Amino acid sequence: MTQRVTPAELHEQFSDRLDLHWVTGKAEAAKRAIEPVGFHSRPSLVGYLNLIHPTRIQIIGREEFDWLEGLDARTRWETVARIMDDRPAAIIVANGLEIADDLRKLAEETETPLLTSSQNDWELVNFLEYQVSRRLAQRETLHGVFMEIFTIGVLITGESGTGKSELALELLTRGHRLIADDAPEFTQLTPDIVEGSCPPVLKECLEVRGLGILNIRRMFGDAAIKASKYLRLIIHLHLPGEDQHEIDRLQGNDSQRQVLDLKIPQINLPVLAGRNMAVIAEAAVRDFMLRMKGFDAAAEFVERHGRLLADKQ
């Protein structure tokens, strides 16, 4: 489903926070939808008055107001008409500035949603740009258990029967936190950040085969639940196959998985009888955190052996 948001929805949700008031175009505001254009596209969705790269929501602050006031009557009318011809989703006059008669008249004639606010223009731009971008961000639902392990957002994936929920339950008993089970939703907030959260219907729940649905908050307390987290690592559980002997004993079995526009590091762990998967998962996350800081245990091991061989020669 295509993500969209209207000025009417923004007014309903943030009118108190931003002190937004309708001047004209309230009925039209529910029809002028704002749709995603991508993080690398121009123009942006919310911004100051711009005739070259018009934004979907145009903010008129003090400087824009003074610039319009400095134009002669004819040029001003033509400029405001150009703004309306671009069919912005809404125009917001900030800083409690007075709505000029020509702006109001042209907004009424073109049914352009026009609002006023006592808030500073920079606050309106920053707040609305963040909220609109978040509402319109790309989304993807993945199968797995999303957890916070040692402050890192980790998605545990694997085929049915590999023990994802059992591993998650063991990690919960060791003090880690559940974000979402079965169908976590991931949203791309910026070009390099993917955030995961839980659908409302699945909040606080974990399904464990043989036990059914468990309410984690009731069982482990509020500290066992996390509302959202940035996705940094994927741990993929798999049953060993014939190629098990091909695993690199030094580097392990690492790869990457595409999530939205990002490639997320993935550690592939074979599920074998007698292995403590919770301890191994914790070790994998700790090693990943060390690698993020620039330390590579395998590289150091190879270098150490290289020095030893060189000394013997």
Q: Tell whether 43 and 185 lie within a shared domain.
A: no
- Cβ-Cβ contacts under 8 Å for 108 (sequence gap 6 or more): 24, 25
> pLDDT at residue 218 above 80?
yes
Residue 96 lies in a domain: yes
What confidence score (pLDDT) does residue 1 get?
A: 46
Q: Could you give the number of structural domains in the chain?
A: 2
For residue range 7-64, list pLDDT tens digits in order.
Answer: 999 999 999 999 999 999 999 999 998 887 654 454 568 888 888 778 889 999 999 9
Phi, psi of 206 (to 5 degrees): -140, 125
What is the rounded CA–CA span in Å between residue 48 and residue 61? 7
Residue 312 lies in a domain: no
Q: What DSSP character marks residue 246?
A: G
Q: Token digits for 294?
A: 């620039």
What confidence score (pLDDT) does residue 309 get?
A: 80
Domain final residue, candidates 108, 136, 164: 136
Give the residue, 246 or 226, on which the prediction is more confident.
226
What confidence score (pLDDT) does residue 275 get?
A: 87
The amino acid at residue 156 is: I
Q: Tell whether 229 and 85 lie within a shared domain.
A: no
Domain final residue, candidates 136, 170, 201: 136
> Within the chain, how many helices (H) and strands (E) appear?
9, 16
Using alpha carbons, select from 223, 224, 202, 221 the residue that is nearest to residue 213.
202
Q: Tell whether 209 and 130 lie within a shared domain.
A: no
Instruction: Please state, as a whole number, how many other Cβ atoms lie within 10 Å of the Cβ of residue 31.
Output: 13
Q: Tell whether 155 and 257 lie within a shared domain.
A: yes
104 near 24, Cβ under 8 Å? yes
Share of the chain above pLDDT 90, in %: 67
Q: Tell whether 64 and 105 lie within a shared domain.
A: yes
End-to-end, the C-alpha distance of the chain in Å comes to 66
Residue 67 lies in a domain: yes
Q: Tell whether 98 and 18 lie within a shared domain.
A: yes
Using alpha carbons, select from 150, 152, 308 the residue that is nearest to residue 229.
152
Give the residue, 167 or 42, on which the prediction is more confident.
167
Secondary structure of 125-139 as H, E, C letters: HHHHHHHHHHHHCCE
Q: What is the pTM of this model?
A: 0.77
Using alpha carbons, select from 127, 129, 126 the residue that is nearest to residue 34.
129
What confidence score (pLDDT) does residue 295 get?
A: 86
Residue 226 lies in a domain: yes
Q: What DSSP character marks residue 215?
A: E
Domain final residue, candidates 136, 169, 204: 136
Supply the residues annotated as catalytic: 143, 164, 182, 249
What is the rounded CA–CA span in Å between residue 310 and residue 105? 85
Q: Tell whether 105 and 187 lie within a shared domain.
A: no
160-176: b (≥16 Cβ within 10 Å) or e: eebbbbebbbbbbeeeb
Long-range contacts of 299-302 (CB under 8 A, 24+ apart): 301/250, 302/250
Using alpha carbons, select from 204, 198, 168, 171 the residue that is nearest to residue 185.
198
222 pLDDT tier (thresholds 50, 70, 90): very high
What confidence score (pLDDT) does residue 43 get?
A: 52
Range of the domain at 217: 139-304
Q: Tell whether 129 and 206 lie within a shared domain.
A: no
Of 27-36, 151-160, 213-222, 230-239, the least confident: 27-36
What is the rounded CA–CA span in Å between residue 263 and residue 276? 28
For residue range 120-132, list pLDDT tens digits in order.
Answer: 999 999 999 888 8
Phi, psi of 15 (to 5 degrees): -60, -40
Helix or strand holding residue 1 (H, E): none
What confidence score (pLDDT) does residue 134 get?
A: 83
Residue 118 lies in a domain: yes
Q: Tell whether 282 and 178 lie within a shared domain.
A: yes
Residue 224 lies in a domain: yes
For the residues 169-186, what does the mean pLDDT come to? Answer: 96
117 near 46, Cβ under 8 Å? no
What is the rounded CA–CA span in Å between residue 150 and residue 173? 14
Q: Tell whether 151 and 96 lie within a shared domain.
A: no
Residue 313 lies in a domain: no
The CATH number linked to 178 is 3.40.50.300
Q: Tell whether 123 and 182 lie within a shared domain.
A: no
For the residues 302-308, what does the mean pLDDT come to? Answer: 79
For the residues 153-177, what does the mean pLDDT come to? Answer: 94
Residue 2 lies in a domain: no
Q: Tell whether 23 and 118 lie within a shared domain.
A: yes
What is the rounded CA–CA span in Å between residue 218 and residue 204? 9
The CATH number linked to 16 is 3.40.1390.20
> pLDDT at residue 179 above 50?
yes
Q: What DSSP character marks residue 8?
A: H
